[in-house]
A = this chain, B = another copy of it.
Amino acid sequence: MRPYAFGVDIGGTAVKLGLFRTTGELMEKWSIPTRTEDGGEHVLPDVIASLRAKLEERAIPWDQVEGAGMGVPGPVKEDGTVMRCINLGWGVFNIPEQIRTLEPRIHRFRISNDVNAATLGEQWRGAAQGRKNVFMITLGTGIGGGLVINEKITNGVGGAAGEIGHFLVEPGETEICKCGRRGCLEQYCSATGLLRQAKKALLERPEIPSVLRSEAELTAKDVCDAAKAGDALALELLEKLGDRLGWALTAVTSTADPEVIVIGGGLSNAGDILLEPIVQGYRAHAFHALRDTEFTLARLGNDAGIYGCVRMLM
């Protein structure tokens, strides 16, 4: 294997890039803005330009580079075809083909969904290091998930493995999810979902005192901070989130029985105040053969993606 490799994690606002030694060491990371205008047509050329510039800066020739792994925010088929990345403005096209056209000197190229890549990153060098079978769920604006089986990403036939954010959990819901349906897990257990539930609770239960009422612009982080400070309403909101998410995760373990579930995404920065009710909800609802699944918080933060992208090349 050649000595260097790139990890490229494409997000809706920034592309995170990493130059690694193929021994696994991150040498340098940086980021460039994601230019989503013109149907996202500048994104890949910008990435290639940035990789070229980095090699030039470090005087590393292309034939010393094993390749690049890429994560994108949307489903990816086994052949590298992306099935619409809404946040990038992309339609349906084959990424490896376009990459080869842009830069034929790239020796090897791998692509996956960004959360799948991040799951592999956590499995390789993060919270699930040393485990072969891992599920990661990310709680942020939405909910993402990734499944690693036998140290390999499971993409699924349509690239949608791990996408449990739109599992129907509340048939009676009246508000519409961004997917167009109602009652998705994401509407309750993402950061956005927690905030929505908090605002609802504050309106519907004016008799309950809470420090959350004094926030001018309430955020999900405020709810977690209030819970840490002992606010009863905030604690109840996290308990409900944990119960529902824990229950939904029993469906995941019933399917794949991974060794560990990693909780990631922006909301996971809240730490144990979030993790504990999820674990409690899980154990309360899990079939006995599945009750001992381990839970852990993600460890690599925003770097998980670039680690996983490089790992895909190995």
Contacts and interface: CB of A to CB of B under 8 A. Distances in A.
Contacts of A255: 135, 145, 147, 161-162, 164, 251-252, 255-256
A259 B231 CA distance: 46
Interface in A240-281: 247-248, 250-259
User: A149, A161, A252, A255 — which one has the most chain B CB atoms within 10 A of its CB?
Assistant: A255
A285 to B, nearest CB: 5
Interface stretch (A15-23, A209-217, A286-294): A286-294
Interface in A274-313: 285, 287-290, 292-293
Contacts of A160: 253-254, 257, 287, 289-290
A33 interface: no
A257 B158 contact: yes
A3 interface: no
A259 B160 CA distance: 11
A95 interface: no
Interface string A126-164: 000000010100000000010101101011111111111
A156 B179 contact: no
Contacts of A254: 145, 160, 162-164, 166-167, 251-252
A193 interface: no
A83 interface: yes
Contacts of A156: 133, 253, 256-258
A69 interface: no
Contacts of A253: 156, 160
A67 interface: no
A71 to B, nearest CB: 17
A256 B133 contact: no
A73 interface: no
A168 interface: yes
A7 interface: no
Contacts of A121: none
Given A156-B253, A158-B289, A179-B288, 11 more contacts: A135-B255, A156-B258, A160-B254, A161-B256, A161-B257, A162-B254, A184-B287, A251-B252, A251-B255, A255-B256, A256-B256
The 5 nearest A-B residue pairs measured at CB: A156-B257, A251-B251, A166-B287, A161-B257, A160-B289
Interface of A: 75, 83, 133, 135, 145, 147, 149-150, 152, 154-168, 179-181, 184, 247-248, 250-259, 285, 287-290, 292-293
14 contacts: A133-B154, A147-B255, A149-B149, A156-B256, A159-B289, A160-B257, A163-B290, A164-B255, A165-B287, A167-B250, A179-B288, A181-B287, A252-B254, A252-B255
